[in-house]
Structure 1
Amino acid sequence: MSDSFAAAPRLPAVPRAVRLTAAHGLWRVQSGAVDLFAVPLPADPGQGDVPSAWHPLGRVEAGGVLGGLLSAGTAPVEILAVPLDGTVLQDAALDDGARPFADYERWIERLLTAAAPPLRPRDLSALPQGIGAADLPAGASACADEGLVWLVASAPVRLFGDMPVAAGAPLALSADIWVQAEAPVTLHLARTPDLAAAGRLETTAAHVIAQALERLSRHLAQQESGARDMAIRREAAAARRAATATQLLAAPLHPHLARVDAAATATDPVA
């Protein structure tokens, strides 16, 4: 086990769970696997350690990498890494691998797509690496044709068409990650090796990771809100069915009770 991974902050209630949002480093899974989870944090810090659901984010198999997210700043969601028994991890460098930086790029892409993206636009344009800049008309969408491409936009855009990103804020594109132009915009593109050589990769990645965690937090909040609403509707439907059944049983014994139309209440729109 990597010494830096072994020393990473843990979740007190679950000591095997490493808090990636409070950790530094990059690790490669040599053997075994690591399960990833997202745990929403309470909106009110005064609530303390309020129990919250663990949302699975998939598994990093042998050969894959995962990294600490502390550089992204205070995150609205906790990302936990739980190694399977017997898993071996080693410290990794950003440019490790047969293609330098490819494994690190896949880790960034995993974070950005942790919240399921919407359907891809039909008019999506694929931008090749190394073109330097590309112009998009208002309403147009673009992704990368391969690998990961970093960019800044000259005007506001929408990540995945649904998350506003201000002009000049760093972004990342891949074949599965795209942006939509709100107005005519120029995208200034850079490759990972170029950013690393210029000493700007860490700060750029920190901005992009913060975007990914913010989007994931919103996605989980919507999921949990929808689940609460459905639970309330189910409870109300169950109460209505119970009241109807009580009236149907009581009516023969109490002739003065209003009869219930059994056919009208046999089905309920909420199961």
Structure 2
Amino acid sequence: MALCKGRFHHAALDQGVRMFQVRETPLLSCRNVTKKFGSLAAVSELSFDLAAGEVLGIGGPNGAGKTTLFEMISGQTAVTSGTIALEGRDITGLSPVGRCHAGLARVFQLNTGFDSLSVRENVLVAAYYGRAPRRIPGFRVPSEVSDQVQDALCRVGLEASADRAAAKLPVIDRKLLMIAGALAMSPKLLLLDEPVGGLTQREIDQVADVVGQVAADGVTVVLIEHVMRFLVQLSTRVMILHHGRKLYEGDAAGISRDPDVVEVYLGQSAGKDVARLAADRTEARHAG
């Protein structure tokens, strides 16, 4: 049986990033990625690399192209032009299932799940079909898959609710269930689309602990989030999009100093809050 892990530490996450960044080949590489709907460019010639072990936080106004970018990375939407590579392998033409089996997992913004199944069964479905191609109807669960399911439940704190019906879960636990399903696939890259939307501050901190520990364990994370406290706390690098283009890319502390980001996205008041949050994170890192 898997053992639960404690709260993550910023120093552990930062040390992991430094260790993984020595690799020359980026874990994820997007080159001139563009998506057009008719004459509208939802994402326009966007390029960035992501080293293994990083946590990239993506922000920006509604309609900036954030979710469209996730759609292209995960294969739900085909790129109009440009290339996407995972560990140096071009996955631009791969299906969503193919990308999943290559090591990419995505948690969607909406709280999806099989309401008629238990928490454990939901994660089992993800682990079974998400890790390798399955051609035989029905399934026979290998012991290693069962172990992976237990580990995923433990990592998000749902092991005590494993036999509970998914339909009866509160919002916070449904979000954690989705993360558990993704983790059960043993991803190299985890995409999180607004994982703390609609949660209380205490619940936001709970999800932050889970995601921070996942990242500290070596899973590379890309997250979209409007809750700046969450984004600043977790991200080793931040990218702000506007009208499908990159408005800012750098550390969290630089967001509040960028006049374009403040004008387009944060506003003066929120900019000061972000500066304080970034300073708090820096202090926490040094304390560790």
Given the two structures, how large is their TM-score scaled by the length of structure 1?
0.23
Q: Which has the higher helix share?
A: 2
Greater Rg over alpha carbons, structure: 1
Given the two structures, how large is their TM-score scaled by the length of structure 2?
0.22
